Amino acid sequence: MKKSTLTKFVISGVLILVLSLFFGLDLHRELTFANLGKLKNQLIGFREANYAFTLAGFFLLYVLVGAFSLPGAGPMTLLGGAIFGFWPALITVSFASTIGATLACFFSRYVLGNWVQKRFSDQIKPINRGMEKDGLLYLFALRLVPVFPFFIINLVMGLTRIKLVSFYWVSQVGMLAGTVVFVNAGAQLGAITSPEDILSPVVAASFAALGLFPLIAKWMLNKIKASKSLDQPNSHGK
């Protein structure tokens, strides 16, 4: 058996095992806003006694969720802010989500290519056209204002010619603004200890930002595209 074939076989086996355990143990039902909210106080208590272990475990779990395209990234981002506070959660989620996304892109390119081609054929064509037209700016746009769910972007990008290094850094930068908004909302949730806290200006502003983020991100993207078009030489010029 060729080394490349053996590698694909091993990775495919790991993917099947992880997905089987995840759904077989009903973990997809646990990674929800409601369930994670109930566990928040317990996890905070565990964090106080085992900070480094809790942070490392959270990081690894987040990477696995992204790498295997599992549901639960949104609730986990809010939970991270609630448990660890803004800055530790922001750094952890930012790197974990990007590493997980890059691994998903890698799996798609070298293992799941045929399955992704069939499963997401409708999404592949517009993404390929966007990449041909705007290159890395298109990926940045998808990260900033996701037209498709993030896990679809990860998988479909694996079928393009984009370098994994480029995919990583563009994703890291493009997802940062959204990560800031969600982590901050989670941190404010973690700070709520009484009904009066819900009405505080900081909490209200955090959740207003959460709702307004798609509109702000779209405005930012339009500005970037306009700036790029102005920088391009006029075809009728000298």
Q: Tell whether 45 is covered by a domain.
A: yes
pTM of the complete model:
0.80
Please tell me the distance from the alpha carbon of residue 181 to that of residue 209, in angstroms, as a whole number.
7
Q: Tell whether 238 is covered by a domain.
A: no
- Position 199 scores a pLDDT of 46
Q: Tell whether 237 is covered by a domain.
A: no
Is 117:179 a contact under the CB 8 Å cutoff?
no
Is 89:179 a contact under the CB 8 Å cutoff?
no
Q: pLDDT tens for the chain, 238 residues: list them.
A: 555 666 666 666 666 666 666 666 566 566 665 666 677 778 888 899 999 999 999 999 999 999 988 888 888 898 899 899 999 999 999 999 999 999 999 999 888 888 898 889 888 989 988 898 888 989 998 998 877 889 999 999 999 989 999 999 999 999 998 899 889 988 887 775 554 444 467 666 766 676 677 778 888 777 777 776 666 655 444 4
- Position 158 scores a pLDDT of 93
Q: Tell whether 38 is covered by a domain.
A: yes
Q: Tell whether 165 is covered by a domain.
A: yes
Q: For residue 206, give its domain range.
A: 3-225
| 87-122 tens-digit pLDDT | 999 999 999 999 999 999 999 988 888 889 888 988
| 3-state helix/strand/coil string of 78-100 | HHHHHHHCHHHHHHHHHHHHHHH
CB atoms inside a 10 Å sphere around CB 205: 12
Structure tokens at 122: 């409708």
CA nearest neighbour of 76 among 110, 134, 36, 109:
36
The total number of structural domains that make up the chain: 1
Please tell me the distance from the alpha carbon of residue 188 to that of residue 197, in angstroms, as a whole number.
9
Q: Tell whether 234 is covered by a domain.
A: no
Q: Tell whether 209 is covered by a domain.
A: yes
Structure tokens at 159: 């079928």
Q: Tell whether 164 is covered by a domain.
A: yes
| Cα R_g (the chain), whole angstroms | 20
